[in-house]
Structure 1
Amino acid sequence: MNQSQLIAKLRVQLQQLEQQVLQYDASLPAYDYKLLEHLERFNDELFRQHGAKLIPCVQQIRDNINQLEKQLQLQMSAATVARTCERIQDRFSALKRAMATTAIDVKEQQQQKSSKQRYFQKKQSQQHQSSGFDWIANQVMHSSHRLYEELNKHLNWEKKILFKIEQLQSQLDTCHSTAKIALQNDLLLMHRRLGKCRQAISYIEDRIQVFERPQQNNHR
């Protein structure tokens, strides 16, 4: 395959993907759209995109293909061309994966929304002891320094879980059908852990505000 054929093939593949994305965006239920509206669905290194609609990602892939065409015309180094090709491939895979895992993303957002609603109801009724995170308050409530340490620990856990989710999603794209169910179960488990971790982060942040508020009032 020569260079012209390569570029032509990539553009045909992108055109096919664009039709899938347009259909995806148009068929996304309004409730799901609202849930995903503020969700960061990609690493910033992959796409500059936030929210439910995925069509902005198609133009970014198109820009990469145009960039590759210029690099080939200018006979740039093989390493430079290879990096661009790899980026195009990664973006194709990530965009397809985002469409395939929408149900998981929506379920996670529903769980987070429900968790936040339950949490604020408990907060208003001053029933923090039944929140499920009272062990954090019991251990570190006496010290804002300890609270920040606990917060950093949970933020690190969140990063590790997100990295594991990306790994599992990547494996899911290339695995055999016999292993797909096990990977999907592992992925759901990691999303549940992510939800619980983020619940704990929200709780700790609220505890920090409660702890520091009297100190702020004393300095007035």
Structure 2
Amino acid sequence: MHTASFDKLCQQVATLKQHAEQFDKAKLFAKNRYMQAQPSLFDRGVFTTKSMKLVDYVLEIEDEVNTLPPLDRRHAHNYALVRIANQVQAVFNVIKSTPIWEKENKSTYKPRHKVTNQTAPYQHAVKKIIQPAHELYDELKQNHEFERRLVLMVEECKLKMQNVGPIKAKAINLEILALHGRLGRCRKAISATEEKIQQVEKQQLR
């Protein structure tokens, strides 16, 4: 079942596709040797597509939207939305730079002034779905990494205790207790962040 925000995102991706087609028709890279020598417009970390046509990347975005994981797989669903948001922003940035390429080519192609105003809604549509969820996921990821490091530090301290005398062992034991205190606070932070994520996702499902 799709949310209103998801439907809005689909509409805005369709609008983005129209602007990408307009950009491609203008052939703004045609006179630029550097761009013509490039195998791809974007980094592989953002798109798997390799093309010098902007619309090809929007087609990949459409595929990502069409294969979006279901809402009950919330982690995968939100991760996919963040990826889509990054892809949309990347294409939008190229469209936004149209005047620069026009100047480069001294082209007669003139984009409609409404492009900037019309591109704002898909930024808003994406943000409505993933904000502040993606920030919370970043926070959760950082907390889990911190938890992992603390657990490793505790294990290292336990190994040290096997080869030291009683005085040194006592000092290491105090260090372990301190690490457990930090670990406990870290896990509380993880639980608090997970609760916030659940609240955000419940709001998205309304």
The TM-score by the shorter chain falls in which range? 0.3 to 0.5
Q: Which has the larger radius of gyration?
A: 2
TM-score by length of 2: 0.43
Which structure has more helix as a fraction of its residues?
A: 1
TM-score by length of 1: 0.40
